[in-house]
A and B are shown apart, each in its own frame.
Chain A
Amino acid sequence: MARSLIKVSPNPRRGEVMEIKTLISHEMETGFRHTNTGTAIPRDIITTFVATYNGEEIFAAQLYPAIAANPFITFYTVARDSGVLEFRWTGDNGYAVSEQVKITVA
């Protein structure tokens, strides 16, 4: 049940600086832990996050084992044109989730 929560103002004014908040459900297993019997628990984390605005990359982040579970990433961009914001998380074991939010710039 991969889940994400995204908060973007749906109707920003042109030129407005808008805050974008993203939260995604992920265990972020560091790879440094062991089970009770001493077996290493393999790393399973999100490694990259990319946000695009009408296809143009506006924000990207690389994530490492020190990032907490359920990464919360928030950033800003300037509202220029109506269109689609796309968010893409990729990680270990073929993890790939993408979400789209439509915005209409007044």
Chain B
Amino acid sequence: MTRTASVLFALGSLGAVARKHRPVVFVAVVGALAAPSLAGDIPLGERRSGYATMSAATQAMQDDDTANPGMLWVLDGETLWRRVAGEGARACADCHGEAAQSMRGVAARYPAFDAKRGAAIDLEGRINRCRLEQQQAPALKSESKELLALTAYVARQSRGLPIESDDARLGPTIEAGRTLYERRQGQLNLACAHCHEDHWGQNLAGNTVPQGHPTGYPVYRLEWQGLGSLQRRLRNCMIGMRAESYAFESPEFIALETYLMWRARGLPLESPAVRP
């Protein structure tokens, strides 16, 4: 039996035990990660985008707009931006004009505080609210090609600008997000912070654990062979922890997104980024 195979076998048998004696296995499997050091936030100067730990080939793919497949969605988004929709018979462009001016810096400020509803709202939610209220068109489905395209197009206008999170009204949402981020969950009994605060830069299987800054969403993920939102990525992580994922656009996801953007404040936006 090769070394890899025996390790897999060992993990497999531990998994079998896990269902019977969960607390014992918790010590055995998660032992290395168990101490919830949560040593505090990564110092501002040490924060790195996931871009920094990607291979040179993937970095080159993101840097070249003709090689970055995310740009295909941006082009579709530009078409949708000018397309009349709904009973309001208006296109995004009819109110907002040229996105290059009107949307510059917008994505860097989201999720933002929606004063009308007294809650945080993310960029996808904002676009759908505009569709419902201004265009009187049906909301676009989460992760639909159209919603991703419009989000990517809007986010693209803020590329290179620093992420801002200085609205005091977002305070409670950021705190709620932090609580979720630091809370253990799922069958592996891990918190987001265990990997992304305490073990970033180390390896998880063949990949480098990133710090988890959402600097490039919506992101073209090579594993997905498509564009996806931050919520889809968070779902992925939760499934990996064997936790039950929150629903798209749920308050928990919005809170997590708001916290993560606050945590990444000051880092430049890369949308649409490419990730492995």
Q: How far is the CA of A72 from the CA of B67 in the complex (A)?
A: 7
Chain A 1-24, CB within 8 Å of chain B: the 1/0 string? 101011100000000000001010
Q: Assess whether B76 is in contact with A5, with CB atoms less than 8 Å apart.
A: no
Q: Assess whether B67 is in contact with A70, with CB atoms less than 8 Å apart.
A: no
Q: Assess whether A68 is in contact with B72, with CB atoms less than 8 Å apart.
A: no
Total residues of chain A contacting the partner, CB 8 A = 14
Q: Assess whether B79 is in contact with A72, with CB atoms less than 8 Å apart.
A: no
Q: How far is the CA of A75 from the CA of B79 in the complex (A)?
A: 29
Q: How far is the CA of A6 from the CA of B225 in the complex (A)?
A: 19
Q: Assess whether A5 is in contact with B71, with CB atoms less than 8 Å apart.
A: yes
List, in ascending order, chain B residues with CB within 8 A of A1's CB. 76, 79, 145, 149
- The minimal Cβ–Cβ distance linking A66 to chain B, given in whole angstroms, is 12
List, in ascending order, chain A residues with CB within 8 A of B75's CB. 3, 5
List, in ascending order, chain B residues with CB within 8 A of A72's CB. 67, 69
Q: How far is the CA of A25 from the CA of B69 in the complex (A)?
A: 8
Q: Assess whether A70 is in contact with B72, with CB atoms less than 8 Å apart.
A: yes
* Contact flag A68-B76 (CB < 8 Å), given A6-B66, A21-B67: no
A-B contact pairs, 9 of them (CB 8 A): A3-B72, A3-B75, A3-B76, A6-B66, A23-B67, A28-B225, A69-B225, A70-B69, A70-B72
Interface residues in chain B, defined as those with a beta carbon under 8 Å from any beta carbon in chain A: 64-67, 69, 71-72, 75-76, 79, 145, 149, 222, 225-226
